[in-house]
């Protein structure tokens, strides 16, 4: 060891200055080694020196660092070998030329093999060199003191090469330069080599030179041999491990002992050559996965997946375990989800094995379970079909393993078929269509689920039979595997995720609620248990939307990243008011309207929250319920207050009411609001409506939305006391000619009738009612009847409905003649609605 080192040291001393000079002249602006990563590490200096050294020494053009890309070219190899032959004496041949043989893809190996057997000294030589170079340790060793490879030796080497023990080959070559020294180290090492790589000849030798080489190298190193570094090797490993004759820097000295790099290499291994010899169809698709994306810093953005969601599931492959190693663990910031999607990669049990288990009573499959997976799509489909045709069609399909292998969020029952094996898929009834797969349908409405299972069971047999027959004759069916189908369905289900199902999927939820209610009515109590199960749709927890930009310590300012979830504010819009008088007036009108609209909107949102309160209450967990209740109370209060006057907190503001009702949406709002308000306030609002009815009707001419109010108003009226009722009637007739206007309007007439009917109800039900206490009621009714009679039939609008008891009401107050007239006019019959 020391011998070689000293040699190197000597060389270093001689050449160092020249190397240094070269350095300065060769400052390369674009080269990493000058400014980039290469410059930071110490290694480049040594490396450079080595490079310079070897360049100088060889006297041939340095071939730069591009050894890797070189294909083994026989012509070139031959040339290089021939050139190498020429410089004589103890000068080691140019390692830079060696890379031409270096790490050749294994595709070269077969020709090598053949060529080798064909003989030819040069070829053998190049071959030898190739092997040597493939093993950097040995190459290094070889090149330090390799004498000019003689043809004679190459002749003998042919047979040895054919001999095929790679270690033997290697040792052979290493023995060439240093017959004494290295023969022993490789020998013992060869026994320690794993049996695999050293199996067969040259091809394997070259195919796994890396494996071999590093182990060999290790031994070399431990022995203290000094291989020459691979100058132009593509591997930094090589350089750091090789010992150049140039330098014996302290950094490198550590490499002699167990270097950390060595240990790393031991663990990780070298970058693999594409193994052309192996079967291509088994190539793992995940090898082609793009490098792992850096995660988006935005919270709530979709997680970075190793393989994008849109990737279809892979075909089953033998070395499934490789998958795990190929998954880059993407680090992403992400709010915890309630549902996690299992990785699209292998489950523990393949569906094929499961089906085998499940269907073994049906018959033995002709293939043993250990059959390799290399069936193409068509073959698999055909296999399936043949199986389908073969098996008898008897009864319902065999039951699937319940919950076998673990549940996925959506698909229970057998786990999705990611096959480790591609054994035959025994049929289970019809191949595709009504298999009794019990999906995990807990997320579906129980009604749905029930229908589903019912249908499957009842129809699974007969329908499947006919369809299945046809499909069994189709040799191309089942090209789309179960796994793929589930993958597509999974994607569809993902789209159904929502944070707020009542918001996103309102119609589905409500429809099934209604159905449930209807079912409850129809069915007896015995089946009531089924209905109490809750409907669960895949829900994702609401993600926080706050985004604080990433900030690096010591940097100026923040990194602003604009993404879909965190759009950047582009324009700062500032509101400026113009103080033009004319425009002001016009604007005022607009502003008022806008104000009304704004108020209406705000009230609406409050209203919706209040109305949705119940639903949300049921759904929220226990802890949050208090808060929700609190909020609900606040909302209702706010709503109530909104209708009130500013000065007097008690009275309902007429003006406000009218304003709101002047807008179409406002009327609807009031209609929805009335049932929620406390009765006093509701009554007050109805009073206000009655009071201002003419104005309202005028505004409503276009919209005709007032009729929406009938229902809630009637509800309110029915809850009124007699005095209140009287007041209401009074309000209705308040100003001059009001009644006439009222009668012209549908809503007005309806309202009037409602009031009268209510009064009649009161009177008839309770003879002691206070309605008759003062004469107001009677007088009012009289005036109403007067008006009704006097007004022309054409201007009298038809009400929405005519209460039945109007007749009895009028009969109390008017004489027969008038009664008849009224009857005709109003078309009140005893049986009218």
Partner 1 sequence: MSTELPAKEQHKMNYVPGTASLIDDIDKKHLVLLRDGRTLIGYLRSIDQFANLVFHQTVERIHVGKKFGDIPRGIFIVRGENVVLLGEIDVDKPCDTVLQQVSIEEILEEQRLQQQAKQETEKVKMQVLKDRGLSVPKADNLDEY
Using the minimum distance from each CB to partner 1, give the nearer residue, 105 or 461: 461
Minimum CB separation from partner 1 for residue 355, in Å? 18
Task: Verify binding: residue 786, partner 1, rule CB under 8 A.
Answer: no
Task: Verify binding: residue 717, partner 1, rule CB under 8 A.
Answer: no
Joined tokens for residue 240: 């750091």
Minimum CB separation from partner 1 for residue 440, in Å? 11
Among positions 349, 493, 606, 674, the unique one binding partner 1 when judged by CB under 8 A: 493
Collapsing DSSP to helix, strand or coil, 539 comes out as strand
Using the minimum distance from each CB to partner 1, give the nearer residue, 491 or 559: 491
Joined tokens for residue 825: 């006019």
Task: Verify binding: residue 397, partner 1, rule CB under 8 A.
Answer: no
Among positions 360, 454, 641, 718, the unique one binding partner 1 when judged by CB under 8 A: 454
Among positions 20, 491, 564, 798, the unique one binding partner 1 when judged by CB under 8 A: 491
**Separation CA 694–CA 743 (nearest Å):** 10
Task: Verify binding: residue 492, partner 1, rule CB under 8 A.
Answer: yes
CB 643 within 8 A of CB 651: no
**Stretch in the footprint of partner 1 (CB under 8 A) among 443-451, 640-648, 714-722, 824-832:** 443-451
Using the minimum distance from each CB to partner 1, give the nearer residue, 491 or 627: 491
Among positions 255, 327, 393, 463, the unique one binding partner 1 when judged by CB under 8 A: 463
Task: Verify binding: residue 616, partner 1, rule CB under 8 A.
Answer: no
Alpha carbon of 692 to those of 682, 687, 733: distances in Å? 15, 9, 10
CB 544 within 8 A of CB 335: yes
Task: Verify binding: residue 471, partner 1, rule CB under 8 A.
Answer: yes
Give the relative orientation of helices 722-732 and 746-765 as an angle to the nearest 10 degrees: 150
Number of residues that bind partner 1 (CB under 8 A): 41
Using the minimum distance from each CB to partner 1, give the nearer residue, 398 or 416: 416
**Stretch in the footprint of partner 1 (CB under 8 A) among 346-354, 420-428, 437-445, 603-611:** 437-445
Joined tokens for residue 523: 């069915």
Using the minimum distance from each CB to partner 1, give the nearer residue, 278 or 433: 433
Among positions 184, 278, 283, 433, the unique one binding partner 1 when judged by CB under 8 A: 433
**Tally of CB atoms within 10 A around 777:** 24
Among positions 434, 656, 722, 805, the unique one binding partner 1 when judged by CB under 8 A: 434
Torsion-angle region of residue 334: left (phi > 0), alpha (psi -120 to 50) or beta? beta
Residues in region 293-322 near partner 1 by CB under 8 A: 310, 312
**Stretch in the footprint of partner 1 (CB under 8 A) among 480-488, 553-561, 657-665, 805-813:** 480-488
Using the minimum distance from each CB to partner 1, give the nearer residue, 150 or 311: 311
**Stretch in the footprint of partner 1 (CB under 8 A) among 286-294, 442-450, 780-788, 796-804:** 442-450
Task: Verify binding: residue 535, partner 1, rule CB under 8 A.
Answer: no
**Stretch in the footprint of partner 1 (CB under 8 A) among 172-180, 197-205, 434-442, 599-607:** 434-442
Using the minimum distance from each CB to partner 1, give the nearer residue, 217 or 477: 477
Collapsing DSSP to helix, strand or coil, 556 comes out as coil
CB 206 within 8 A of CB 116: no
Distance of CA 294 to the CA centre of its chain: 16
**Separation CA 353–CA 629 (nearest Å):** 53
Task: Verify binding: residue 524, partner 1, rule CB under 8 A.
Answer: no
Using the minimum distance from each CB to partner 1, give the nearer residue, 209 or 429: 429
Minimum CB separation from partner 1 for residue 514, in Å? 10
The secondary structure of 747-801, three-state, reads HHHHHHHHHHHHHHHHHHHCCCCHHHCCCHHHHHHHHHHHHHHHCCCCCCCCCCC
Minimum CB separation from partner 1 for residue 351, in Å? 15
How buried is 79 (Cβ within 10 angstroms: 0-12 exposed, 13-18 middle, 19+ buried)? middle
Task: Verify binding: residue 425, partner 1, rule CB under 8 A.
Answer: no
Joined tokens for residue 371: 């059959």
Nearest to 9 by CA among 59, 72, 53: 53
DSSP string of 59-84, one letter each residue: -S---TTTTTTPPP-HHHHHHHHHHH
Using the minimum distance from each CB to partner 1, give the nearer residue, 496 or 597: 496
Q: Which residues contact 425 (CB under 8 A, 6 or more apart)?
A: 351, 352, 355, 380, 383, 384, 387, 478
CB 220 within 8 A of CB 206: no
Residues in region 788-807 near partner 1 by CB under 8 A: none
Q: Which residues bind partner 1 (CB under 8 A)?
A: 310, 312, 432-434, 439, 441, 444-445, 448-452, 454-455, 459, 463, 467, 470-471, 474, 476-480, 484-486, 488-489, 491-493, 496, 508, 515, 518-519, 522
């Amino acid at each position: 060891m020391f011998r070689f080192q000293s040699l190197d040291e000597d060389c270093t001393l001689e050449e160092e200055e020249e190397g240094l000079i070269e350095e300065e002249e060769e400052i390369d602006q674009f080269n990493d080694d000058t400014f980039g990563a290469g410059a930071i590490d110490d290694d480049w200096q040594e490396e450079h020196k080595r490079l310079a050294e070897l360049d100088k020494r060889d006297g041939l053009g340095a071939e730069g660092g591009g050894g890797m890309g070189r294909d083994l070219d026989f012509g070139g190899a031959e040339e290089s070998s021939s050139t190498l032959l020429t410089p004589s004496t103890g000068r080691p041949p140019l390692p830079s030329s060696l890379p031409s043989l270096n790490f050749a893809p294994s595709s070269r190996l077969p020709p090598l093999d053949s060529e080798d057997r064909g003989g030819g000294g040069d070829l053998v030589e190049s071959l030898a060199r190739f092997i040597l170079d493939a093993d950097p340790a040995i190459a290094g060793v070889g090149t330090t003191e390799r004498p000019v490879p003689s043809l004679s030796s190459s002749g003998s080497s042919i047979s040895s090469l054919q001999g095929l023990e790679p270690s033997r080959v290697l040792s052979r070559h290493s023995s060439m330069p240093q017959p004494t020294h290295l023969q022993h180290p490789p020998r013992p090492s060869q026994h320690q080599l794993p049996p695999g790589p050293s199996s067969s000849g040259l091809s394997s030798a070259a195919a796994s030179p890396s494996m071999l080489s590093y182990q060999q190298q290790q031994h070399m190193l431990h022995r203290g041999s000094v291989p020459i570094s691979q100058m132009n090797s593509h591997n930094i490993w090589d350089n750091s491990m090789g010992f150049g004759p140039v330098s014996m820097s302290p950094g490198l000295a550590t490499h002699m002992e167990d270097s950390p790099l060595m240990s790393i290499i031991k663990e990780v291994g070298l970058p693999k050559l594409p193994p052309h010899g192996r079967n291509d169809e088994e190539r793992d698709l995940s090898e082609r996965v793009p490098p792992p994306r850096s995660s988006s810093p935005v919270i709530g953005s979709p997680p970075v997946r190793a393989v994008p969601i849109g990737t279809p599931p892979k075909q089953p492959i033998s070395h499934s375990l490789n998958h795990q190693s190929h998954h880059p663990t993407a680090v992403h910031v992400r709010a915890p989800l309630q549902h996690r999607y299992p990785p699209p990669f292998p489950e523990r049990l393949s569906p094929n094995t499961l089906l085998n288990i499940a269907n073994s009573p049906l018959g033995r499959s002709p293939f043993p379970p250990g059959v390799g997976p290399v069936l193409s799509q068509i073959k698999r489909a055909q296999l399936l079909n043949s199986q389908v045709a073969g098996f008898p069609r008897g009864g319902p399909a065999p039951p699937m393993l319940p919950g076998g292998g673990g549940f996925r969020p959506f698909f229970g029952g057998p786990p999705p078929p990611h096959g480790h094996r591609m054994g035959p898929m025994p049929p289970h009834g019809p191949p595709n269509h009504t298999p009794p797969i019990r999906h995990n349908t807990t997320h579906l409405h129980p009604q749905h689920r029930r229908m589903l299972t019912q249908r499957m069971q009842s129809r699974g047999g007969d329908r499947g039979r006919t369809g299945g027959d046809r499909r069994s004759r189709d040799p191309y069916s089942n090209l789309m595997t179960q796994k793929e189908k589930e993958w597509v369905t999974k994607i569809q289900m993902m789209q159904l995720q929502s944070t707020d199902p009542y918001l996103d999927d309102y119609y589905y939820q409500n429809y099934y609620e209604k159905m449930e209610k209807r079912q409850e009515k129809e069915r007896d109590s015995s089946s009531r248990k089924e209905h109490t199960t809750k409907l669960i749709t895949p829900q994702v927890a609401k993600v926080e939307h706050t985004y604080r930009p990433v900030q690096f310590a010591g940097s100026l300012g923040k990194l602003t990243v604009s993404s879909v979830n965190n759009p950047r504010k582009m324009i700062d819009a500032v509101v400026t008011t113009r103080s033009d008088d004319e425009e002001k007036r016009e604007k005022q009108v607009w502003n008022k309207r806008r104000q009304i609209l704004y108020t209406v909107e705000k009230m609406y949102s409050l209203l919706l929250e209040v109305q949705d309160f119940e639903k949300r209450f049921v759904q929220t967990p226990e802890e949050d319920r208090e808060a929700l209740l609190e909020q609900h109370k606040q909302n209702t209060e706010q709503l109530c207050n909104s209708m009130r006057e500013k000065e007097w907190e008690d009275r309902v503001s007429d003006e406000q009411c009218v304003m709101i009702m002047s807008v179409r949406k406002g009327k609807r709002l009031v209609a929805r609001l009335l049932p929620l308000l406390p009765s006093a306030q509701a009554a007050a609002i109805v009073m206000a409506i009655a009071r201002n009815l003419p104005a309202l009707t005028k505004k409503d001419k276009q919209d005709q939305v007032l009729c929406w109010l009938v229902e809630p108003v009637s509800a309110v009226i029915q809850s009124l006391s007699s005095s209140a009722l009287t007041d209401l009637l009074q309000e209705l007739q308040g100003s001059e000619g009001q009644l006439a206007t009222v009668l012209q309007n549908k809503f007005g007439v309806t309202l009037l009738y409602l009031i009268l009917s209510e009064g009649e109800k009161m009177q008839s039900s309770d003879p002691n009612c206070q309605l008759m206490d003062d004469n107001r009621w009677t007088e009012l009714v009289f005036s109403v009847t007067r008006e009704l009679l006097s007004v022309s039939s054409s201007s009298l609008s038809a009400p929405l409905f005519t209460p039945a008891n109007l007749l009895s009401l009028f009969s109390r107050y008017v004489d027969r003649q008038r009664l008849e007239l009224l009857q005709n006019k109003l078309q009140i019959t005893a049986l009218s609605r």
